[in-house]
Amino acid sequence: MSAVALTVNGKAVTGDVDPRTLLVQFLREDLRLTGTHVGCDTSQCGACVVHIDGKAVKACTVFVWQIEGANVTTIEGLAEPNGPLHPMQEAFREHHGLQCGYCTPGMIMTAVDMVNRKGNDLDDPTIRHELEGNLCRCTGYHNIVKAIAAGAKAMAKGHAQHQT
């Protein structure tokens, strides 16, 4: 077992883990943060996307020991506790960017990272290209793309503190 210490959603966490423990396993099984989903076990679907030190990463591709001391944000930490939804979460709700919801946390985390890297004025081709690592089996992506464009604009309207 290896001791690990990191910050998850603004809180210091520690644990003793097998060196083979993936970040997605640690989040779901040890910390009970089940918003980060396991969809494919092959790093193809993007359901497990979280932010590590502000960048979108598939949590199924990282061993916990590799990110010792890092700052991790999951879907549960995107909005303030007991506060309103993050603008991107609200945009997904408003624009019906989800059906079953399984891919939604990873889509939202990818979308926030996309805005942080590409800016608040995103066109459809850019959004679709940036989503290539995220799979949805329900929506056909049309409403997801609309939601991300709207969420990007909403993030520009005084919500900079939410950009994780």
Instruction: Quickly state the pLDDT bin for 122 (edges 50, 70, 90).
Output: very high
Question: What is the token pair recorded at 110?
Answer: 């990818």
* Statement: residue 153 has pLDDT above 90: yes
pLDDT digits (tens, 9 = 90+) for 42-83: 889 999 999 999 999 999 999 999 999 999 999 999 998 888
User: Could you tell me if 16 and 2 are in contact, meaning their C-beta atoms sit under 8 angstroms apart?
Assistant: yes
Report the DSSP beta bridge partners of residue 114.
none
Give me the pLDDT at residue 139, please.
77
Where do we find the tokens 């945009």?
A: 91
Q: What is the 3-state secondary structure (H, E, C) of 90-141?
A: HHHHHCCCCCCCCCHHHHHHHHHHHHHHHCCCCCHHHHHHHHHHCCCCCCCC
Instruction: Name the pTM for this structure.
Output: 0.92
Give all domains of the chain, ordered by start, each with its CATH number.
2-77 (3.10.20.30), 87-162 (1.10.150.120)
* Statement: residue 17 has pLDDT above 80: yes
Please state the rounded mean pLDDT for residues 89-113: 94
Instruction: Quickly state the pLDDT bin for 162 (edges 50, 70, 90).
Output: very low
* Statement: residue 159 has pLDDT above 90: no
